[in-house]
Amino acid sequence: MLSIQFLRDHPEEVRRALARRHTEAPLDEAIALDADWRRVLAEVESLRAERNTISKEIGKLSRLAETAETKEAKHAGHRRTDLVARSSFLGERLQALEAQVRELEARLREFLLEIPNIPADDVPDGPDESGNVVVRQSGEPQEFNFQPKPHWEIGEALDIIDFERGTKLSGGRFVVLKGSGARLARGLIAWMLDQHIANGYFEIYPPAMLREENFWAGGWLPKFRENIFHDAEEDYWLLPTAEVALTNLHRDEVFDASVLPLNYVAYSPCFRREKASAGRDVRGMKRVRQFDKVEIYKFVEPGLSDSALGVIVSDAEALCRALDVTTRVVQICAGDLGFNAAKAFDLELWAPGSGEWLEVSSCSNCTDFQARRANIRFRREKGGRLEHPHTLNGSGLAIPRVLIAVLENYQQRDGSVLIPEILRPYMGGLTTITREQAKTSK
């Protein structure tokens, strides 16, 4: 969330940011409502000051009226009666105005929650994903001496991905992983967690169901309401990403700067309605409603967030390189930035069977945007002013698309799939997935 002071001081900068994002937000409404709020608040403060002055005067007059019967004492009594009446009137007026202030504050916050983060100056301009810029690529797509198959054909032929039973159990965009397919997904999760822990991240296993306030604080509400699964009976919201939980670990907390940076890694199941992808290619495992993901997350001092973003990208990219799959890093343009992000990079793996680049990670610097929403603060020294840390997040990595990339890049002419060497310790020494091997794992 942007601070209201920033909107007051730099409305044109926010307006330019919205134009760069090619989006609309209630900026003018927020500015107008803020002016109303300040006007009413000024009246409240003026009336409070008058009432306090009257209260002190009533006290003096009461003591004077209690003296012997004199003309001065009688006058004090009459004056006191008038002031008591005035104080009573002010009290009723204040009560109404204070309620109006609270209502205006609530409405203003609702507007502020709908205004996205400001893109960093070095974010490229562009209306949508067509404006994204490839920063670098490692390796070239390998050449096959046969026609590579897409993962849905590979998975069904090896009997390790069951789309039909996934649909039978839960409907469209759900899959069942079987045998070596399930073990490969589990191995990927364990390997990714081990790598990030070795890089200094502290492991968290969060609940998969959170209260609604976590989604407001994390910036997922109101923007992404339609894509979040919600249990209305007990007001639980299913995680779309562990980012929401990690943001809220320190909600409403104040800590010392000496604890920064805080580096977290979390595995979680993720749930999304995927309404935004309607009409796009949804065949196979590319877009499913339940998937596993490892998330990396940082809380850092404000001046260090840009370099911290580079670290997160590097840590996620190292996993892609270790799998020895062609990888590219793409900087996201202003028109394609996520709501919370000021700057972001995507990591993509080449899938030769599907014939496309698959996003397996999106790494974002959210500056103080989320921390302000979540009321997370820190002090650099005892008694010092409160500041908001910067938050950063990145997938490290999303399992289904990594699984797709492994199956399609390591497929063999005979239909088997080699296990990447880095993953073999997590597969019980298994080096190849074959149809026969898959059968024996049932």
Which residues are catalytic, by number?
272, 287, 359, 362, 401
The DSSP bridge partners found for residue 345 are 331, 363
Burial of 213 (0-12, 13-18, 19+ CB in 10 A): middle
Whether the ω angle into residue 352 lies within 30 degrees of 0, i.e. cis, is no
Instruction: Tell me which amino acid residue 6 is.
Output: F
Q: What is the three-class DSSP state of 94?
A: helix
Say how many CA atoms lie within 13 Å of 345 toward its Cβ: 23
Instruction: Tell me which amino acid residue 388 is.
Output: H
Q: What is the three-class DSSP state of 26?
A: coil
Specify the DSSP element, H or E, that contains 78.
helix 71-112
DSSP 230-263: EETTTTEEE-S-HHHHHHHTTTT-EEEGGGPPEE
Residue 312 C-alpha from the chain's centroid: 15
Structure tokens at 109: 């916050």
Strands 202-204 and 262-271: what pairing? parallel
Q: What is the three-class DSSP state of 347?
A: strand
Q: In the 8-state DSSP scheme, what is residue 270?
A: E
